């Protein structure tokens, strides 16, 4: 682990940022504000082209952005990266240049096999793009992971650290890893805890209360709405701060009931999820699902969107003005009990 303050090896380099979503925009703006030369590569007519131009960037098609670039940052969604590499990057990236990813999925699972004459590195900020940008603007930074997969130039690590410095990560903390560790831990966190685990826990809690005869509105507040209060305490100070700020009754319930919900069986199933990630099963299934047009993905997503917790939640959130910039018609309407 380290912070860096040394001269940036990229100070005279041309950096091509491919993609201008949450991370892409934050990276491009921070790199430019760090005095680095940035060009943005996007699909013609795409929704972010005008936004990047409005931010003052030279915007060109990806292949043109890659030509002549000393470092190419791939910040597009995982599933479009293999085609982007084949069509725009592989034929145009110059020997000795660096190819940078913010997530190791495609390299680790061999969806992308990079040319042998380029550096391949990873820089993954541990925060969303909006935070990467806002912390940079405050003169701070978001900690970042960095890794080297292929070092042809002999300077791949310095390039990764230089890029991390350029987006503000070097102001905070840089943690060295490898593509395998970053990819597998990231996927596991999403599936077992942050997205899959948390959402299923909330839905199960909501259904348990409603099936027992309690009002859906109250169930929503208890298992969905108030979760933010606990997560914020975790985020700010870990288990220590959470236990400091909840009641003794809540603490005792934590100690005696938490292990009844999340038990050895849960951990065993988490290990099964991790095994599927490690042996490539998840990657193969996700790649095949994407290639098939996402039929299961769309069905499962719609089931979540149609769940009663979302119907109740939409009406309750409309009564929370702090979540909305202006009152909505839903907020003005009488609240009807949801059965």
User: Is 48 assigned to a binding site?
Assistant: yes
> CB 169: neighbour CB atoms within 10 A?
30
Q: Which residues of the chain have pLDDT under 70?
A: 1-7, 326-339
Token pair 């999820």 is at which residue? 273
Instruction: Please report which helix (H) or strand (E) contains residue 199, including its range.
Output: helix 196-211
pTM: 0.91
User: Is 135 assigned to a binding site?
Assistant: no
* Cα 200 to Cα 208: distance, rounded to the nearest angstrom: 12
- pLDDT tens digits for range 66-118: 999 999 999 999 999 999 999 999 999 999 999 999 999 999 999 999 999 99
User: Is 191 assigned to a binding site?
Assistant: no
Q: Is 103:24 a contact under the CB 8 Å cutoff?
A: no
How many Cα neighbours within 13 Å face the side chain of 306? 6
* Cα 318 to Cα 267: distance, rounded to the nearest angstrom: 37
Residue ranges of E strands in the chain = 14-18, 37-41, 59-60, 71-74, 98-101, 119-125, 144-150, 174-176
Q: What is the DSSP letter of 321?
A: G
- What pLDDT sits at residue 331? 47
Catalytic-role residue among 27, 103, 108, 149: 103
Supply φ then ψ for residue 285, to 5 degrees: -65, -40
**CA 4, chain centre distance (Å):** 24
Q: Is 1:173 a contact under the CB 8 Å cutoff?
A: yes
Instruction: Please report which helix (H) or strand (E) contains residue 36, including its range.
Output: none
- What pLDDT sits at residue 338? 40
- What pLDDT sits at residue 3? 56
User: Is 258 assigned to a binding site?
Assistant: no
* Cα 129 to Cα 268: distance, rounded to the nearest angstrom: 34
Is residue 103 part of the annotated active site? The answer reads yes
How far, CA to CA in Å, does 229 sit from each of 88, 241, 251, 314?
Answer: 45, 11, 15, 19
* Cα 262 to Cα 224: distance, rounded to the nearest angstrom: 18
* Cα 145 to Cα 160: distance, rounded to the nearest angstrom: 10
């Amino acid at each position: 682990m380290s912070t860096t303050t040394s001269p940036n090896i990229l100070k005279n380099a041309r950096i091509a940022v491919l993609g201008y979503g949450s991370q892409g925009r934050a990276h491009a703006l921070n790199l430019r504000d760090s005095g680095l030369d940035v060009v943005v590569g996007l699909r013609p007519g795409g929704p972010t082209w005008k936004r990047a131009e409005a931010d003052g960037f030279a915007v060109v098609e990806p292949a043109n952005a890659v030509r002549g670039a000393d470092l190419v940052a791939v910040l597009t969604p995982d599933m479009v990266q293999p085609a982007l590499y084949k069509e725009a990057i592989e034929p145009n990236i110059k020997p000795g240049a660096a190819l940078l990813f913010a997530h190791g999925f495609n390299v680790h699972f061999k969806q992308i096999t990079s040319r042998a004459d380029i550096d391949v590195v990873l820089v993954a900020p541990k925060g969303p793009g909006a935070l990467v940008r806002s912390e940079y603007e405050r003169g701070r930074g978001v900690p970042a992971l960095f890794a080297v997969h292929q070092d042809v130039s002999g300077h791949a690590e310095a390039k990764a650290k230089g890029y991390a410095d350029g987006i503000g990560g070097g102001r905070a903390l840089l943690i060295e890893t490898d593509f395998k560790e970053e990819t597998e831990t990231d996927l596991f966190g999403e599936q077992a805890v942050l997205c899959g685990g948390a959402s299923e826990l909330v839905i199960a809690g909501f259904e348990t209360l409603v099936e027992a005869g309690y009002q859906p509105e109250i169930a929503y507040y208890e298992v969905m709405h108030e979760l933010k209060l606990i997560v914020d305490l975790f985020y700010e100070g870990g288990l220590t701060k959470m236990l400091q700020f909840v009641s003794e009754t809540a603490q005792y319930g934590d100690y005696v009931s938490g292990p009844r919900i999340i038990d050895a069986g849960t951990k065993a199933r988490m290990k099964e999820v991790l095994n599927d990630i490690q042996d490539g099963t998840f990657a193969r299934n996700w790649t095949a699902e994407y290639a098939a047009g996402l039929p299961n993905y769309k069905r499962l997503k719609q089931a979540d969107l149609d769940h009663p917790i979302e119907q109740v939640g939409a009406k309750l959130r409309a009564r929370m003005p702090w979540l909305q910039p202006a009152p909505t018609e839903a907020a003005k309407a009488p609240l009807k009990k949801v059965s």
